[in-house]
Structure 1
Amino acid sequence: MRYNSTKFGHSCPTAEIRCSVNRFRRSNFMAAAIASDAMDSVPLDIAAVLNALPEPVFVLDAQDRFLYVNLACEQFFRSSSATLIDRPLGDFLQEDSTVFSLIMQARSSHSSVSEYGLTIETQRIGSHFVSIDASAIAETPGQVVVSIQERSIARKIDHQLSHRNAARSVSAMGAMLAHEIKNPLSGIKGAAQLLEGVVENPGDRELTNLICEEADRIVSLVGHMESFSDDRPIERGSVNIHEVLEHVRRIAQSGFGRNVRFFEIYDPSLPPVLGNRDLLIQALLNLVKNAAEAVPDQGGEIHIGTRFLQGVRLAVRGGGDRVDLPLMVSVRDNGGGIPEDIQLRLFDPFVTTKTSGKGLGLALVAKVVDSHGGVIEFDSEPGRTEFRIMLPLALMRNKRS
């Protein structure tokens, strides 16, 4: 394995970065292989793999006519392959669909382009909230292979909107109650402290201590709730994401993560991110702390990485705006995984698997990422959980201004 040295002096296993390939990109390569040959000469294993995928995959020629479709694509467009092949995509989608601009971008840039959170709607196929990956086929100029994802990132992003609505409801309640709760708690704690000075019975003194501790705990919880109620725009500027990650790692290794092995896989060529340094530290520290608490006592590992994602965009629902999210930060651990029954609610306030947890850490992470105009997603299974944050770069703002 070859290693590249970063500006921080850490080793970056290049091979591991290159192995982090999206499986939909792999399906695109297989579809491209099919499109380059006659259908009856397609190797059975490649065609079988593509037809086994639950996601639609299709290949277009330079005139946007279908050259190949898998079974899921037939179901998506509600038409057989015999009907689709050689027909233009425009016969099945509206002419002003963003899908066409995405395909044109992939074709003109000779690269892969992704967009999250698109709505495709026609009378024939109905309405679908999807993410799309379009890749130009280098060997055959003009041809583009497209994969549509309905149940992965798009669903997660859509659910995150519900997460944030729930968080806003909780924050509104927290803001309203915070003042009313803190004042009487201060009086209760003050009275308990006065009693502590006059009681002689050790049992009574223990009870007054308990009152003070519980009052402090409630004040702390209300403070966390108040953090959700602040919806003011954050101050953002150019932030070196690797400096932020190094700061987080140092905090972790000097405290809660002292028994964990850390691996850093950085892309040292990344430009600054457009963000708020303190809030990014807060969010990433929460993710790393969760990872450290999830890994086993012996052999615990946390992998922190950065990558540049070419052509990744988020469609802003309810409008025509699109946000480029080319910088990805990942935090991966080898813990036991997240229970499936809470994965869809993971970013909701008060959802936790910890017996002593408040369930506000990941909700706060989601709020910070949202305030940066980014997206957070995760994959989890026993032995491997990875959180990925996609953010805009500082130079993106300069290009728009």
Structure 2
Amino acid sequence: MADFVFYKQLINHLDSAILVVDDQLCVTYLNPAAEALLQVSGRRCVGLPVKHFFLDSLESSSTLEQSIAEDTSFTKREAHVRLQNQTIITLDYSVSPVEFDNSLCLVIEMHARDRLLRISKEEELISAQATTQALVRGMAHEIKNPLGGIRGSAQLLERMLDNSELQEFTQIIIDEVDRLRNLVDKMLGPNKLLEREDTNIHEVLERVHSLISVESEGKVKLRRDYDPSIPEFLADKEQLIQVVLNIARNAMQALLQHVSAEGSPQITLRTRTVRQFTIGHTKHRLVLHISIVDNGPGIPEDIRESLFFPMVSGRAEGTGLGLSIAQSIVNQHQGIIECESEPGRTQFSIYLPLELSLNDYERAR
């Protein structure tokens, strides 16, 4: 009995989530890690069928029954499991039959994959963003050099011409060269250093709220869902306004262009904090999570993976530079922007570390 208590205490201290079910597929035990993963209370779970807490498909019950009947183990990778609160999580789990008190039970060992998958996706996004920026900078250099020569030649030609009609053509050349040069500068993103100051994120969001309210002429409902306990942090306030405004304005334009019969157009601005959160490969103790959520038509599936690349846009009149610039600004703040979209709901999530010091920003420049 002493050995049993010892092993139970040992299992209770494991990071791995352990769930035990009997031969009737009813829960007999789960350790604290499993309670946290499945978002349930261990006392309330014991004696209840496992399907109430842990099923990734309609076939799961028969698979577990087969494991009991044949005394065989199996493993599933990246299974999508729907919890009681309808949240879907991604797991790797292994099922092993174990004999205990002359009866067979199943030990299910679970490992969450959501965080690892998200970290991997973020690292890919950050790497792709850096590669794209390097490519754009190289291309911009090659474009701006001949543009300077064309503009200078057009100016010299304009001075030599006495005919005003011909001078009009040279002015067109100059204007178009300037337009192309401005476009290249926008592709390069913000070219000034961050002007860091103590920033209240809700002042940023209230500014965006006011601007979008005016621009939408009251046709889009704006909803606030703020956490007032979020502290001030070092950031470039004006650039963060540009980031949030760009995303909110895209949402507004999508809503006004595709009016849904299911409900009135709505944008939600939400703030929360997240503890022990990883951005890229760096783990932060406290992170600000800003959500901009709309109930519009969603982002076309064919551009979701490349959404933050330059020249990618879901609108015919769009330049495809706004989100790329927004991602660059947030990256300068050691943060990241993520997007989840489906018809009827699009959410942009901005993650910003709240505990970076001025020295951290200096090293990140």
Give yes or no for TM over 0.5: yes
Q: Indicate the SS of the match to 1:285.
A: helix
Q: Deviations over 1:210-238 (max 9, x none)?
A: 5455333212212213336x4x8634332
Query: What is the rounded CA distance, in whole Å, between the counterparts of 1:26 and 1:284 in structure 2?
Result: 37
Give the CA deviation at 1:277.
1.1
- 2:319 aligns to what? 358
The match for 2:198 among 238, 249, 254 is: 238
Does the CA contact (< 8 Å) of 2:187 and 2:325 recur in 1?
A: no
Instruction: Go from structure 1 to structure 2 and tell me whether the alpha carbon gap of 1:340 and 1:80 turns closer, same or farther (over 3 Å shift).
Output: same
Q: Does 1:216 align with 2:178?
A: yes
- 1:370 aligns to what? 331
Q: Does 1:44 align with 2:68?
A: no
Which protein shows a greater Rg? 2
TM norm structure 1: 0.60
Give the CA deviation at 1:359.
1.4
Q: Deviations over 1:88-130 (max 9, x none)?
A: x9xxxxxxxxxxxxxxxxxxxxxxxxxxxxxxxxxxxxxxxxx
Q: Does 1:304 align with 2:269?
A: yes
Summarize the alignment of residues 54-73 of structure 1 with structure 2, pairs less than 5 Å apart. Answer: 54-55=78-79, 72-73=91-92
- 1:288 aligns to what? 248
Unaligned ranges ≥5, structure 2: 1-32, 62-76, 82-88, 99-104, 361-365
Identity of aligned residues (%): 28
Does the CA contact (< 8 Å) of 1:159 and 1:344 recur in 2?
A: no
Deviates more, 1:168-177 or 1:338-347: 168-177
CA RMSD of aligned residues (A): 4.2
Relative contact order, higher structure (CA 8 A, sep 6+): 1
Does the CA contact (< 8 Å) of 2:277 and 2:286 recur in 1?
A: yes
Instruction: Go from structure 1 to structure 2 and tell me whether the alpha carbon gap of 1:398 and 1:368 turns closer, same or farther (over 3 Å shift).
Output: closer
* Matched positions, count: 294
Q: Indicate the SS of the match to 2:189.
A: helix
Q: Indicate the SS of the match to 2:299.
A: coil
- 1:262 aligns to what? 222
TM norm structure 2: 0.65
The match for 2:278 among 314, 333, 354 is: 314
Does the CA contact (< 8 Å) of 2:255 and 2:297 recur in 1?
A: yes
Query: What is the rounded CA distance, in whole Å, between the counterparts of 2:152 and 2:218 in structure 1?
Result: 40
Give the CA deviation at 1:254.
3.4
Give the CA deviation at 1:147.
3.0
Q: Does 1:167 align with 2:175?
A: no
Give the CA deviation at 1:267.
1.6
Give the residue type in structure 2 aligned to 1:172. Answer: R
Instruction: Go from structure 1 to structure 2 and tell me whether the alpha carbon gap of 1:180 and 1:262 turns closer, same or farther (over 3 Å shift).
Output: same
Query: What is the rounded CA distance, in whole Å, between the counterparts of 1:273 and 1:33 in structure 2?
Result: 36
Instruction: Go from structure 1 to structure 2 and tell me whether the alpha carbon gap of 1:379 and 1:192 turns closer, same or farther (over 3 Å shift).
Output: farther
The match for 1:157 among 83, 101, 122 is: 122
Unaligned ranges ≥5, structure 1: 1-24, 58-69, 90-144
Summarize the alignment of residues 31-180 of structure 1 with structure 2, pairs less than 5 Å apart. Answer: 32-33=40-41, 37-38=45-46, 41-42=48-49, 44-48=51-55, 54-55=78-79, 72-74=91-93, 79-82=94-97, 147-149=112-114, 153-174=118-139, 176-177=141-142, 179-180=144-145
Give the CA deviation at 1:396.
5.2
Give the residue type in structure 1 aligned to 2:177. Answer: A
Does the CA contact (< 8 Å) of 1:196 and 1:208 recur in 2?
A: no
Q: Deviations over 1:225-261 (max 9, x none)?
A: 3336x4x863433211111112222233334666433
Q: Does 1:384 align with 2:341?
A: no
- 2:71 aligns to what? none
